[in-house]
Amino acid sequence: MVKAGIIGCGGIAQNRHIPEYAANPDAEIAGYCDWNRDRAKEMAAKYGGRVYESVDELLSDPTINAVSVCVANTQHAEITIRALKAGKHVLCEKPMAVSIGECEAMVQAAEESGKMLMIGQNQRMMKEHQRARALIREGAIGKVLTFRTAFGHQGPEHWSVMKNRTWFFDKAQAAMGAVADLGVHKTDLIQFLLDDYISEVTAVITTLDKKDPEGLPIGVDDNAVCVYRMRSGAIGTMTASWTYYGAAEENYTVIYGTEGVLHIYDRPDYTLYIQKPDGERIYYEMEKKLRPEVLSGSGVIDEFVSALTQNRESCISGKDVMMAMKAVFAGVESSRTGQTVRVL
Ligand SMILES: NC(=O)c1ccc[n+]([C@@H]2O[C@H](COP(=O)([O-])OP(=O)(O)OC[C@H]3O[C@@H](n4cnc5c(N)ncnc54)[C@H](O)[C@@H]3O)[C@@H](O)[C@H]2O)c1
């Protein structure tokens, strides 16, 4: 049985981690901690388990064997490493951490402790993405030449429990903005879909519009456009934005091969289809798009629990996600220097 401790009880914990542990028959929630004690109390009242006064108190409970780290970005590495050293398996939210040194230290702490480190890159668990990866592998669109992938919405103030006073806008707590919030999803995803790594990045990452509650520009980026070259030679763009001021978010990927074009979530009516050069369309999912990440389980907690129960490596290991983080940090450097940055 996985006995989980929840560190941070905000948006992601409330919408995914906590309900998904509660729904998993192989898991039980031991308790919660949050700087805002009321938030932890509310979760304990709703889902059971106790409230811990601090991260240390939670980590010293010997009945807890796994934790979810659901706090602001700049605390991911420190809390994850402490938890691993305390003998807990860790599911840490994305972005994995805010520097490559931190990512490496997390992976090393997992190796030294013999505990699992998994990262919440939930896009890998979406069934359209898993099917698309298999189709590309089978050669359904021939050799991949180019791609475009994007994730954009109105901004994290519409999601965070802290609304427009959110830590997402504060450089000291978030380190990076849209590129770390949304860009890491699509960066990790393109490597996952193509079963390849990004070798080179040219990027513009900037703050165009978003203001804090005082009306000042936020401390982090609100837009990122990155050109990625893969090791295979394929090239494409990754766009992340917090300034898509329409109601619906954009969250799509299109991959262009020598024998067709693969579309994922780029139309409201079909989630996955291939357009062949002769005009034929092959639909793989006929159901309407239902914002799968929001309305259904993310699959991340089930994967964490199942990997622990089966004593196997998770399919979103810290070691693998670190390869996507390298590309994200290369994008930040490219934007700062105006140069193309080599990753691998
Ligand atoms: N996988 C996804 O798609 C996804 C979506 C949203 C957020 N996230 C990630 O989840 C993490 C949390 O984001 P959120 O949207 O839940 O934020 P949020 O602002 O809604 O909630 C964060 C919570 O953490 C608490 N907190 C912060 N530091 C703490 C500490 N040291 N100890 C105890 N509690 C602490 C805050 O009081 C707050 O309740 C971020 O890293 C974010 O990038 C992932």
Q: What pLDDT is recorded for position 98?
A: 98
Segment among 121-130, 233-242, 280-289 with least mean pLDDT:
280-289
Q: In this predicted structure, what is the pLDDT of residue 236? A: 99
Test site for ligand 1: of 6, 37, 54, 70, most ligand atoms within 8 A of the Cβ: 70
Mean pLDDT of the region 127-146:
97
Q: With a cut of 90, say whether residue 107 has pLDDT above it.
A: yes
55 lines ligand 1 (CB under 6 A): yes
Task: Give backbone dihedrals phi and psi of 136, rounded to 5 degrees, phi first.
Answer: -65, -40
pLDDT at 289: 46
| pTM for this predicted structure | 0.96
Max distance between CA atoms of the chain, in angstroms, equals: 63
Q: Which of 301, 252, 303, 221 is nearest to 15 (CA)?
A: 301
Is 153 a pocket residue for ligand 1 (Cβ < 6 Å)? no
Q: Could you give the C-alpha distances from 206 to 225, 332, 342, in angstroms and in order?
A: 9, 10, 20
Asked whether residue 224 carries a pLDDT value surpassing 60, the answer given is yes
- Closest residue CA from atom 21 of ligand 1: 10
Report how far ligand 1's centroid is from the alpha carbon of 162 (Å). 10
Mean pLDDT along residues 41-51: 98
**122 ligand 1 Cβ < 6 A:** yes
| pLDDT exceeds 60 at position 197 | yes
What is the residue with the minimal CA distance to atom 40 of ligand 1?
A: 72
Q: Which of 71, 92, 72 is nearest to 80 (CA)?
A: 92
State in Å: Cα 10 to ligand 1 middle. Answer: 5
Q: Hey, what amino acid is at 24?
A: N
Which domains can be identified in the chain, with CATH numbers? 2-122 (3.40.50.720), 123-299+323-342 (3.30.360.10)
Residue 160 or 138, more confident = 138
Query: How far is C-alpha 58 from the chain's CA centre?
Result: 24
Q: Please write the tens of the pLDDT for every residue from 274-326.
A: 999 999 999 996 455 444 444 458 899 999 999 999 999 999 999 999 999 99
237 Rama class: left (phi>0) / alpha (psi -120 to 50) / beta: beta
User: Looking at residues 172-198, what average pLDDT do you find?
Assistant: 98
Q: pLDDT by residue (tens digit) across 84-105? A: 999 999 999 999 999 999 999 9
Q: What is the pLDDT of residue 293?
A: 43
Burial of 112 (0-12, 13-18, 19+ CB in 10 A): exposed
Residues 30, 57, 87, 28, Cα dihedral to 10°: 0
- Mean pLDDT across 224-234: 98
Alpha helices in the chain, H assignment, sequence order: 11-12, 18-22, 37-47, 55-59, 76-85, 100-113, 127-138, 171-174, 178, 184-194, 292-295, 300-309, 318-337
Residue 272 three-state SS: strand
Beta-carbon count within 10 A of 19 CB: 17
- Residue 287: its pLDDT value, please? 52
Strand, helix or coil for residue 338: coil
Q: Angle CA(161)–CA(96)–CA(145) in degrees, nearest 5?
A: 110
Give residue 234 CA to ligand 1 midpoint distance, Å: 35
Output the average pLDDT for the chain: 95
First to last CA, the chain: 40
> Is residue 198 classed as helix, strand or coil in its secondary structure?
strand
CB of 162 within 6 A of ligand 1: the answer is: yes
What secondary structure letter does DSSP report for 86?
T
The string of pLDDT tens digits covering residues 256-271 is 999 999 999 998 888 9
What single-letter amino acid sits at 300?
V
With the most atoms of ligand 1 within 8 angstroms of its CB, the residue from 32, 35, 121, 124 to mutate is 35
Q: Say how many Å lie between the CA of residue 95 and the centre of ligand 1.
A: 11
At 152-182, the pLDDT tens digits run 999 999 989 988 899 999 999 999 999 999 9
Paired residues of 200 in beta bridges: 229, 342
pLDDT of amino acid 286: 43
User: Which of 18, 93, 124 most suits a substitution to test ligand 1, by most atoms within 8 Å of the C-beta?
Assistant: 93
Contact 196, 230 (CB under 8 A): yes
